[in-house]
A and B are shown apart, each in its own frame.
Chain A
Amino acid sequence: MSTSAPIAITGMGAISAIGEDVPSNYRSLRISRHGIGPIRHLDTPHRGRLLVGEINMSNEELVEQLGIPAGEAYTRSTLLALLAAAEATMGIDLNDGSRTGLISATTVGGMDATERYYEDYLNSETHRHYIPTHPCGYSTEQMARHLGVTDFVTTISTACSSAANAIMLGARMIKAGLLDRVIVGGTDCLSRFTINGFNSLMIYTDGHCRPFDEHRNGLNLGEAAAYLVLERAELVTRQTKTPLAYLSGYGHANDAFHQTASSEDGEGAYLAMKHALEVAELDAGAISYVNAHGTATPNNDLAEGQALLRVFGAPESIPSFSSTKAFTGHTLAAAGAIEAVFSILALQHQEVFANLNFSQPITALGIVPQTTLLPMQINHVLSNSFGFGGNCSSLLFSTAHD
């Protein structure tokens, strides 16, 4: 079985702190306009202190935009997912007889509702219709109903690598002959749970995150939803469509080092990137851009940087790389998907996006990210997503243009 047959990407949708659809996300990337700022919509004592990548729409506004009947229980993660999935599937007939699947990823699930109504559920009937929304799988169920997907529906939750894993599973199921088309991606909204969680780990910066900088001291959280539509390449050619890009490689490994910290030599990250190159049957030299995981925690950027050196050989051999988390914040389960969209935008527009807030390279590594928008020829992009539990995933996207 050929593992090198690429998978075509025929649709994408995204909503994040830097844009409410793919074109507006691109415009922000292009002019290096980030979306990190004070918390506006979430009600927490950390408002006024911690900065986030918040989408500037209230839940009521999201509900209105989607035309959802009042009184139905939809958590914020699901609302964001529905918008992004609608954009991704626009113009695609999901009822054309092809076997179509939906693989979504989330870590927050319905926790934003659960934390809001935790006491309220016991004392009043008003919000009890939100009780079923807590589990991760529920959000996917609602998406499947909205999109009319019935052939295969599932949910992955592996912390920050979740959406990358969803994309990978989709590709594998197409290659295994189980599906013809699959909507893949992830969603996570901001929540007190995650903000307090990362703060308790002392890896939440009190300013703007500084990926790959020697003086980085933590991440900013963000919220986002992003989805891709993957299809078997022959199907696409038969319909004489040009895909947006190809998913030509993917790799996954477990660091097996510690529950939350990455190993110093970035073993899991290294293996994931290596596998992605192997599946794509490409040498490291073919990669022109790495969209790094780059959360700006002391631990991740060091480990990821080490892994980059191991994959590419020497600092001067590492291709242009940047973390876009200084634009969007760390969007947890959505990160792999929003950054997949950014990787595809990089291929479409032949531009490397900036790694913001950088001034000094990590002394132990001596590697320098791309700090400004850089037009260049890009044929292949590597996108990294590494999560708690040592869960490391890497996706390789290739241009659809000759």
Chain B
Amino acid sequence: MIKPIYIHGKGAISIQPTTEPGYFFDSILPYTQNPIPAHDPDYKALIPPLQLRRMNKSMRMAIFASQLALREANRTTVDAVITGSGLGCLRDSERFVESLLADEGQPLNPTPFIQSTHNMAAAAIALALKCNGYNMTYVNNANSFESALLDGVVYLSEHPDHTILLGAVDELGERTTEFWNIAEYLKQDRPAVPTPLAAAASPGEIAAEGSTFFVASRQPGPSTTGKVTAVETTLETDNPASFVNQFLQKNGLSTGAIDAVLLGYNGDSRYDDIYRGVSQALFAGIPCVGFKHVLGEYDTVIAAAMALALQLLREQRIPTALQLSGPQPKELARLLIYTQRRGRNHGLILVER
């Protein structure tokens, strides 16, 4: 059967300064716009200019975040790279569509076409690390990272002495954001980060972007910060609380075994109730931690939640800005992440010390 995997390093780029050493959400950058681009680090510090020049934002974020993870894990290479992205390299897709709509029949620049291929971030990492190993990309809406994680868990059970990079990236697109506005995905009225949640929520999401990467293997090591013991997804469910409960039971756990639950409240009043229902049914009295109200919403934000979970395990406290309800935790040893997006793509990750 599937065994746990240990995380030895992580790196995250988001709309908060998560690349700054020691950053642990004690101060939150506020925003009043929608969408919100990720906070760009100094990419040149880790990526050579001749490579950087052609990289779109997805590729830059992915390479940078994966480099941070490798540094933390004290490694320069890995045996495999497995990634998830809900929309792939969106801006270059838009650029190429726009160029063909304007100039089809004339010569078109090939670069945006090449860059738009969904697996280019994973490919860029393989090139940078000269890694000939397994290289996979999941493009599965808001369950993309969970699929990558599950593949990683299966891969490591097949290759118990390998070390892998597991990660996710999603970037904003200009025209796509306009489409999302038209489709009423986005919060139009007074968007804000930190986003008011639950009772104070209003319709719509805050669209953001980011990339998170982890170095993982089957053995604990000197820089291990935690382990992932289970991951599961379901496309749709009439009863999210039952889905979550069955997941716990399958893993031999009662709800009391969870020290804190990270829930994907994102301030969209149409869907935040789902978390309230799960919380009331299963986790009353257990500390509840939010993350989307400071990181925004994108298909692979659950990867950032997993990075946060590992930080919680290391720091043994919940930053005030992130604790949504429940008492102060006595001890943080086992954390459950649950999220969904627009009523679909429910995802669960169990992270332990």
Direct A–B contact in the complex, CB atoms closer than 8 angstroms: yes
CB-nearest residue of chain B to A125: B182
B 25-69 binary contact with A (CB < 8 Å = 1; else 0):
000000000000000000000000000000000000000000000
Contact B179 A131 (CB under 8 A): yes
Segment 104-159 of A: residues with Cβ below 8 Å from B: 107, 109, 111, 114-115, 118-119, 121-122, 128, 131-132, 134-138, 140-141, 144, 150, 152-159
Known contacts A253-B134, A254-B135, A389-B123, A135 near B141 by CB under 8 Å = yes
Known contacts A128-B183, A259-B123, A193 near B157 by CB under 8 Å = no
Contact A150 B234 (CB under 8 A): yes
B216 interface hit (Cβ, 8 Å): no
Q: Which of A172, A253, A268, A388 is B117 in contact with, Cβ under 8 Å?
A: A388
A114 to B96 Cα, complex, angstroms: 12
One of B106-114, B200-208, B221-229 at the interface: B106-114
Q: Which of A155, A176, A177 is B140 in contact with, Cβ under 8 Å?
A: A155
A172 to B233 Cα, complex, angstroms: 18
A156 to B134 Cα, complex, angstroms: 14
Q: List chain A residues, Cβ under 8 A from B110.
A: 197, 200-201
Q: List chain B residues, Cβ under 8 A from A3.
A: 158
Q: Which of B104, B135, B157, B178 is A390 in contact with, Cβ under 8 Å?
A: B135
A317 interface hit (Cβ, 8 Å): no
Known contacts A141-B344, A388-B114, A391-B119, A196 near B137 by CB under 8 Å = no
B147 interface hit (Cβ, 8 Å): yes
Q: How far is the CB of A395 from chain B (nearest CB, A)?
A: 15
CB-nearest residue of chain A to B143: A154
Known contacts A200-B113, A387-B119, A388-B114, A156 near B137 by CB under 8 Å = yes
A252 interface hit (Cβ, 8 Å): yes
Using a Cβ cutoff of 8 Å, how many contacts connect chains A and B?
188
A255 interface hit (Cβ, 8 Å): yes
Contact A158 B137 (CB under 8 A): yes
Contact B139 A157 (CB under 8 A): yes
Known contacts A122-B178, A128-B182, A197-B110, A158 near B119 by CB under 8 Å = yes
Known contacts A137-B139, A140-B140, A388-B119, A196 near B131 by CB under 8 Å = no
Contact A153 B235 (CB under 8 A): yes
Known contacts A157-B137, A172-B154, A137 near B86 by CB under 8 Å = yes
A248 to B62 Cα, complex, angstroms: 34
Q: How far is the CB of B76 from chain A (nearest CB, A)?
A: 14
B296 interface hit (Cβ, 8 Å): no
A31 interface hit (Cβ, 8 Å): no
Q: Which of A111, A131, A137, A154 is B182 in contact with, Cβ under 8 Å?
A: A131
Q: Which of B2, B134, B141 is A137 in contact with, Cβ under 8 Å?
A: B141
A389 to B96 Cα, complex, angstroms: 18
CB-nearest residue of chain B to A279: B158
The CB with the most chain B CB atoms within 10 A, among A44, A121, A154, A156, is that of A154
Interface range, B side: 35 or more
A122 to B174 Cα, complex, angstroms: 13
Q: Which of B87, B104, B144 is A196 in contact with, Cβ under 8 Å?
A: B104
Q: List chain A residues, Cβ under 8 A from B233.
A: 152-154
Q: How far is the CB of A106 from chain B (nearest CB, A)?
A: 8
Q: How far is the CB of B327 from chain A (nearest CB, A)?
A: 36
CB-nearest residue of chain B to A106: B139
A257 to B139 Cα, complex, angstroms: 23
Q: List chain B residues, Cβ under 8 A from A388.
A: 114, 117, 119-120, 123
Known contacts A128-B182, A176-B157, A389 near B117 by CB under 8 Å = yes
A376 interface hit (Cβ, 8 Å): no
Contact A159 B147 (CB under 8 A): no
A24 interface hit (Cβ, 8 Å): no
Q: List chain B residues, Cβ under 8 A from A118.
A: 97-98, 101, 175
Contact B158 A172 (CB under 8 A): yes
B199 interface hit (Cβ, 8 Å): no
B 117-157 binary contact with A (CB < 8 Å = 1; else 0):
11110111011011111111111110110010001001001
Given contacts A177-B2, A259-B120, 20 further A-B contacts (CB under 8 A): A3-B158, A44-B104, A46-B105, A115-B97, A118-B101, A119-B101, A138-B141, A141-B235, A155-B141, A156-B139, A157-B138, A193-B93, A193-B113, A200-B110, A201-B114, A254-B132, A254-B134, A259-B123, A268-B132, A390-B123
Q: What are 5 A-to-B residue pairs whose CB atoms are below 8 Å?
A: A154-B143, A155-B147, A176-B1, A196-B104, A389-B135
Chain A to chain B: the 9 pairs with minimum beta-carbon distance, closest first: A389-B123, A137-B141, A197-B113, A45-B105, A157-B118, A157-B139, A200-B110, A254-B135, A136-B139
Q: Which residues of B contact A (CB under 8 A)?
A: 1-2, 81, 86-88, 93, 96-98, 100-101, 104-105, 107-110, 113-114, 116-120, 122-124, 126-127, 129-141, 143-144, 147, 151, 154, 157-158, 175-176, 178-180, 182-183, 233-236, 344
